[in-house]
């Protein structure tokens, strides 16, 4: 009887809205990093960013913890939270791992995806093309990344999806910058069109091939970022 009463008491507890606030702050900070408004190596000034976002330090610090877990932010002794700096090798190895995951997940998605999965991915693709036509770069990029995640999720392998999410989060800034020039952006879009067509046909080898080529091209598109270090 006591157990039942405890369950009833828990059922009427109000939701913890702070989780929603923390997620929103993390999302806003993630965008600042992707767009380069928080630059690699920059110290995260909690007071300044908190004031700009209109939030207290508590949800801000929770958001920072999320970004640390994603690999976008790191805690440096005596300096605090800083936007992580990625080397060329970091990016190359991350894209290599993503290539392996996406090619194999793409093959599985062609075999296992439901009609609803395919329709959802096609809808994301069409929305992405609209953002491209309107040159809404950040919205385009978010849909682009959502498509990659949806293809991996459609594989039905939760472990692959978890690994993909972790790795994809780490290099969002580099991939966003990689499409900064018109011809590079157009090339990425052309590859996505090929992906959508291959997936619609459930052509597993064609999808794996274009995903691999897309990842190789992604590295070529961002490699210039590291030229100053050589």
Domain boundaries, the chain: 2-83, 88-229
The pLDDT of residue 34 is: 83
pLDDT digits (tens, 9 = 90+) for 163-201: 999 899 888 888 888 877 899 999 999 999 999 999 999
CATH number of 88-229: 1.20.120.530
pLDDT digits (tens, 9 = 90+) for 204-213: 999 999 999 9
Mean pLDDT of 107-121: 98
- Residue 81 in tokens: 């939270």
Residue 12 confidence (pLDDT) above 90: no
Cα angle vertex 201, ends 163, 148, to 5°?
A: 25
Predicted TM-score (pTM) of the model is 0.78
- What is the chain's mean pLDDT, rounded? 88
CATH number of 2-83: 1.10.10.10
Residue 4 makes CB contacts below 8 A (sequence gap 6+) with none
3-class secondary-structure state, position 81: strand
Phi-psi group of 45: left, alpha or beta (phi > 0 → left; psi -120 to 50 → alpha; rest → beta): beta
The pLDDT of residue 125 is: 98
Residue 16 confidence (pLDDT) above 50: no
The pLDDT of residue 6 is: 45
The pLDDT of residue 95 is: 94
Which of 30-44, 86-100, 130-144 shows the lowest per-residue confidence on average (mean pLDDT)? Answer: 30-44
| Secondary-structure percent of the chain, ordered helix, strand, coil, rounded to 5 | 75, 5, 20
């Amino acid at each position: 009887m006591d157990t039942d009463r405890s369950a009833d008491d828990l059922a009427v507890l109000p939701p913890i809205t702070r989780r929603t606030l923390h997620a929103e702050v993390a999302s806003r900070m993630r965008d600042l990093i992707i767009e380069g408004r928080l630059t690699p190596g920059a110290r995260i000034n909690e007071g300044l960013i908190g004031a700009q976002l209109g939030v207290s330090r508590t949800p801000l610090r929770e958001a920072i913890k999320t970004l640390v877990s994603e690999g976008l932010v790191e805690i440096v002794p005596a300096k605090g939270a800083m936007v992580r700096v990625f080397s060329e090798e970091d990016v190359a190895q991350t894209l290599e791992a993503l290539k392996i995951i996406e090619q194999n997940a793409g093959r599985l998605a062609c075999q296992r995806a439901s009609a609803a999965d395919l329709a959802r991915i096609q809808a994301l693709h069409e929305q992405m093309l609209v953002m491209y036509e309107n040159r809404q770069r950040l919205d385009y990029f978010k849909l682009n990344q959502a498509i990659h995640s949806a293809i991996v999720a459609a594989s039905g392998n939760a472990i692959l999806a978890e690994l993909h999410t972790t790795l994809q989060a780490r290099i969002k800034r580099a991939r966003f910058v990689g499409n900064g020039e018109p011809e590079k952006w157009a090339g990425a879009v052309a590859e996505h069109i090929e992906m959508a067509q291959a997936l619609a046909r459930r052509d597993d080898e064609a999808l794996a091939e274009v995903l691999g080529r897309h990842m190789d091209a992604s590295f070529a598109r961002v490699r210039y970022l590291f030229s100053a270090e050589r």
